Amino acid sequence: MNAAPLTRLPPGSTIGILGGGQLGRMLAIAAAQMGLKCHIYAPEVDNPAYEVAAKHTVAPYHDAQALSAFAAQVDVITYEFENIPVETVDMLAQLRPVFPDRLALATSQDRLAEKAFFNAAGIATAPFADVEDAGALMRAVAQIGRPAILKTRRFGYDGKGQVVVRESADLAVIYRSIGAHPCILEGIVRFSREISVIAARGLDGQFAAYDVAENQHANHILSKTLVPAHVTSETAKKAIEIAQTVARELNYVGVFAVEMFVVPDAAGVEHLIVNEMAPRVHNSGHWTLDGAVTSQFEQHIRAICGWPLGSVRRHGHIEMQNLIGHDTDRWLDILAEGHASLRLYGKSVAKAGRKMGHVTRVFPKS
């Protein structure tokens, strides 16, 4: 059984959001700016999103009673990260529309299903092999070669749940080191740049993509995003076509990100290899808050409410820098730049590797 299909919510409706981190916080703010209320559902007692939402529920993701009470108080449900249990979404979907739906969530939660989905849609990925036990790892290495990357199929982010399989590595030790979870082994891609497409698809199939972003990572965490990416216009066009294919094949509703590698061949022609997708607003789209007509957060809210999508027009050339851990100690210098927009997530403790905020610099086009 499923909830009645959503047509179009009026202003004043309540958005239910699973997860209360910075993405939930920025979604809640965007919703409020359009006259919507938000109700955050998350297991943590203290969370950045609670402070800017009309209501919040603190309960585990498998608490059927709490989920049901939550659903009764909201008009549509979304989530801020892809590690929400599919069972939670299944339970909620019986009571209220949930966007993105379980297909998008289940696909992006499992690296094996995700890569199989991409390939079935004609989208190139790195070579990969299923690794369900230590024996499978030996066969996978024989197939993919070394070096390669062993990744847990589920619950990896920011480089967690990944290990490089080098020439000298003892495969049994490696497999135990990653927790003996189901994994995939991926061939290493020699890329020149990492890019991402942030796009949205509306309930009526309307599609809109922001200009392609170029991403720089440090310690497996996004460090800097530049827009537009330094790729040919042909490559940018292809990247957006890939995102459009993903959205269409998943019958997707909401904002999502597709991360890709740019791989130049010997003749210098750029090829695209898709790394992964995220069924949600994405760090490499944070620049849209201060650098585009419609932020990715507003765009997501528009999509899940059944509203028309907004303009993805940029206000200039963009540089977005993540503020990780003690990077935020430089807050005063950033404010003093004048043209920089400092966004902080309200987290009290600046742990190493923790995303504390970001800064967007918009350079006028002329």
Q: Site residues for its own copies, window 266-295 (CB under 8 A)?
A: 289-290, 293-294
326 binds its own copies, rule: CB under 8 A: no
338 binds its own copies, rule: CB under 8 A: yes
Stretch that binds its own copies, among 98-106, 168-176, 181-189, 327-335 (CB under 8 A): 327-335
DSSP single-letter state for residue 316: S
176 binds its own copies, rule: CB under 8 A: no
28, 136, 211, 359 from 327: Cα distances, Å: 25, 42, 27, 11
45 binds its own copies, rule: CB under 8 A: no
Collapsed DSSP state (helix, strand, coil) of residue 252:
coil
362 binds its own copies, rule: CB under 8 A: yes
CA angle 329, 334, 340 (to 5 degrees): 145
CB of 59 to its own copies, least distance (A): 21
Task: Please answer whether residues 8 and 68 qualify as being in contact, where contact means their C-beta atoms are separated by less than 8 angstroms.
Answer: no
5 binds its own copies, rule: CB under 8 A: no
Q: What is the C-alpha separation between 226 and 124, in angstroms, rounded? A: 24
Task: Please answer whether residues 239 and 272 qualify as being in contact, where contact means their C-beta atoms are separated by less than 8 angstroms.
Answer: yes
Q: Which of 3, 34, 121, 138 binds its own copies (CB under 8 A)?
A: 34
348 binds its own copies, rule: CB under 8 A: yes
Collapsed DSSP state (helix, strand, coil) of residue 54:
coil
CB of 196 to its own copies, least distance (A): 23
CB of 24 to its own copies, least distance (A): 12
346 binds its own copies, rule: CB under 8 A: yes
Residues 6+ apart with CB under 8 A from 338: none
CB of 19 to its own copies, least distance (A): 17
Q: Which amino acid is at 51?
A: E
The most distant pair of C-alpha atoms in the chain lies apart, rounded to whole Å, by 60
CB of 202 to its own copies, least distance (A): 11
b/e code 325-338 from CB counts within 10 Å (16+ = b): eebbeeeeebeeee
205 binds its own copies, rule: CB under 8 A: no
Q: Which amino acid is at 197?
A: V
343 binds its own copies, rule: CB under 8 A: yes
Q: Which of 42, 104, 253, 309 binds its own copies (CB under 8 A)?
A: 309
72 binds its own copies, rule: CB under 8 A: no
Q: Site residues for its own copies, window 209-268 (CB under 8 A)?
A: none
Q: Which of 2, 33, 216, 232 binds its own copies (CB under 8 A)?
A: 33
DSSP single-letter state for residue 283: G
CB of 268 to its own copies, least distance (A): 33
Q: What is the C-alpha separation between 356 and 322, in angstroms, rounded? A: 8
Q: Which of 203, 227, 310, 324 binds its own copies (CB under 8 A)?
A: 310
b/e code 26-61 from CB counts within 10 Å (16+ = b): bbbbbbbeeebbbbbbbbeeebbbbebbeebbbbeb
281, β-bridge pairs: none
342 binds its own copies, rule: CB under 8 A: yes
Residues forming contacts to its own copies in the complex (CB under 8 A) are: 8, 10-12, 25, 28-29, 32-37, 50-54, 289-290, 293-294, 302, 307-311, 313, 315-316, 328, 331-332, 335-336, 338-339, 341-348, 357, 362, 364, 366
